[in-house]
Amino acid sequence: MSTTDQPLPETTAPIWRALQSACRNVDNPFRTPILSTIDTETLRPLARTVVLRQVDPDRASLIFHTDRRSPKVKQITNHPSVEWLFYDPATGIQIRAAGAATIRSNDEVSSNAWAKVPAANRPNYCAVVPPGTHLENNAAIFPHEWPPEGPSDEQTESGMANFAVVVTRVSSFDWLQLSAPVNRRLQFQYNERIEKWEKCRLAP
């Protein structure tokens, strides 16, 4: 079956399932999407790769983890509108998800998420300087008391203070399939008034 013979998604359900599958498969290209934010001080759009950690279709939410000292946390706090970009080169499917993001740190949500962070990932949140800091030569990034062989699990617990969960409430999907002989594109917009997703076809 060619890509153009495959049925177009009639609802957002196939999109949510595809994103949920990415959370469980480290090789799925949807697992590492691009997240774009707005810097209100410079009015620049800023984009970076994040790891999709959780998908909640019931709450229309996409979730990733970050260091709460990172610039994107300030950007989201000042301007919560964000956009996610997913792309699978094997299928030619691109998904853009737009919505409003919320930062959760030092609360029950972040504590529950931190408990599931693998020990190997926890040092990422233990740097003594914020992400993006300009470093002088030989400047220390991690605590000086850490042994050369790496920190203990107890030592990495300090990272919880810098850990944040970013939750995006999705309000629209733009679904595009790059395929021969023609590309195909749909938009799903959530209508708050009737509490339903509305679909329309778009020119690719």
Q: Can you give the three-state secondary structure of the chain, one letter per residue? A: CCHHHCCCCCCCHHHHHHHHHHHHCCCCHHHCCEEEEEECCCCEEEEEECCCCEEEHHHCEEEEEEECCCHHHHHHHHCCEEEEEEEECCCCEEEEEEEEEEEECCCHHHHHHHCCCCCCCHHHHCCCCCCCCCCCCCCCCCCCCCCCCCCCHHHHHHHHHHEEEEEEEEEEEEEEECCCCCCEEEEEEEECCCCEEEEEECCC
Do the domain assignments include residue 133?
A: no
Please list the rounded mean pLDDT of every run of 10 residues in the chain (204 residues): 66 97 96 97 95 97 98 97 97 97 97 95 94 87 89 93 98 94 95 96 94
142 in a structural domain? no
For residue 40, give its domain range.
3-123+162-201
The domain spanning residue 23 has which CATH number?
Answer: 2.30.110.10
137 part of a folded domain: no
pTM exceeding the 0.95 threshold for the entire prediction: no
Q: Per the domain annotation, does 155 fall within a domain?
A: no
Q: Confirm whether 143 is domain-assigned.
A: no
- The tally of domains found in the chain comes to 1
Query: Does residue 36 form part of some domain?
Result: yes
